[in-house]
Structure formats: C-alpha cells, structure tokens
Amino acid sequence: MNAVELGSLLRRGEISSEEITRSLIERIERDDRVKAYLTLMPERAMEEARRADKALKAVGPNGLF
C-alpha cells in the first residue's frame, strides 16, 4: 500500500497511525535487509503515532491533509 492510499484510510478512520507504525516496525524487525534508516527507535515511533492519531481526532479528517 502506498502513502496516498494510507492517507485516505487515515482520513476515513479505517486505520490509525499507530497501526501503520506498528506494521512497519514489525516488517523491519522481520526483514531489515534494506536498512533505510539510521537508528530504529520503535518506542519513539509509537509515541509519535499516538500523538498523530490524537491530533487527527482533534481537528477532524480534513484538518491535517
């Protein structure tokens, strides 16, 4: 799934930032051959995802995108 599709799902409330982030972290942990990051910080990523979900909920689906 690409970023545009994920954004659409986020706006419709069909997926959360936390779910997306968790999925990506799990994928990296399963297979990190690409290494497209300097340092993996899953706890911080999950905190940021929760903040993003709260912000989206506060402003509504059209407020952030």
Q: What is the pLDDT of residue 31?
A: 84
pTM over 0.75: yes
What is the per-residue pLDDT across 25-61, written as a single tens digit (0 to 9) for each? 998 888 878 777 788 899 999 999 999 999 988 887 6
Q: What is the pLDDT of residue 1?
A: 87
For tokens 């912000």, what's the residue? Answer: 55
CA distances from 29 to 34, 43, 56 (A): 11, 13, 27
List CB contacts of 59: < 8 A, sequence separation 6 or more. Answer: none
Q: What is the pLDDT of residue 34?
A: 79
Q: What is the pLDDT of residue 64?
A: 55
CA 20 to chain centre: 4
What is the per-residue pLDDT across 5-31, written as a single tens digit (0 to 9) for each? 998 999 889 999 999 999 999 988 888
